[in-house]
């Protein structure tokens, strides 16, 4: 299959299926427990720079963030915004501290302040703080800045894997 859908959480804890181009082998979700000890991210995130589940083509697609393009469908369906905190996995939300949950007070987005500030290079707590800063200081001007910063962030591939 070309597309992959994954259950995510958006505003007010509502579940939806987020679309992406498939970049991993079929059944990759089932292999997660076997490689969980190789996690390179902190907090509730799971990231491995050389994740063995990612296909050769998938690695290229991820580095260029092309895998995110199908999320435009989620925007058109009203499930995502262009700009906002990234939608977390249900398993992550179950482990949230109370203050982490404040990021679910707004519709989640394809790109956000966390993503244009450092993506995977930032720690979980630091990223959540950026999401909350965005929510508390939201303006159309901030959204425009984030959208404009998304282009160089994607092109530089910094923190993308």
**Domain that residue 46 falls in:** 3-156
Q: What is the pLDDT of residue 129?
A: 95
Look at residue 150 and tell me if it is in a domain. Answer: yes
- For residue 131, what pLDDT is reported? 96
Residue 12 lies in a domain: yes
Q: For residue 33, name the pLDDT band (cuts at 50, 70, 90).
A: low
| Number of domains observed in the structure of the chain | 1
CA–CA distance, 9 with 125 (Å, rounded to integer):
18
- Predicted pLDDT of residue 135: 98
Q: Identify whether 120 is part of a domain.
A: yes
What mean pLDDT value characterizes the chain? 88
Instruction: List all residues 6 or more positions away from 82 whose beta carbon is below 8 Å from its beta carbon.
Output: 75, 109, 110, 111, 143, 147
Looking at residue 21, its pLDDT comes to: 96
Average pLDDT over residues 98-124: 91
User: Residue 28 has which token pair?
Assistant: 């990759």
| Degrees to nearest 5, angle at CA 55 with 115 and 89 | 45
Question: Average pLDDT in the 101-129 region?
Answer: 90
The DSSP symbol for 122 reads S
Q: pTM value?
A: 0.83
Any domain includes 161? no
Q: What pLDDT is recorded for position 42? A: 57
What's the pLDDT score for residue 41?
60
Within a domain: 80: yes
């Amino acid at each position: 299959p070309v597309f992959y859908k994954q259950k995510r959480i958006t505003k007010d804890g509502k579940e939806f299926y987020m679309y992406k181009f498939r970049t991993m082998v079929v059944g990759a979700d089932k292999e997660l427990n076997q490689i969980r000890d190789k996690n390179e991210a902190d907090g509730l995130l799971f990231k491995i720079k050389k994740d063995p589940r990612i296909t050769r083509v998938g690695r290229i697609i991820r580095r260029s963030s092309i895998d995110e393009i199908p999320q435009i469908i989620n925007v058109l369906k009203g499930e995502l915004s262009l700009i906002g905190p990234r939608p977390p996995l249900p398993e992550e939300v179950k482990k949230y501290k109370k203050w982490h949950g404040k990021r679910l007070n707004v519709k989640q987005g394809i790109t956000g302040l966390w993503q244009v500030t450092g993506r995977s290079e930032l720690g979980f707590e630091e990223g959540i703080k950026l999401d909350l800063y965005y929510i508390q200081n939201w303006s159309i001007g901030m959204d425009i800045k984030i959208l404009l910063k998304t282009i160089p962030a994607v092109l530089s591939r910094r923190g993308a894997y």
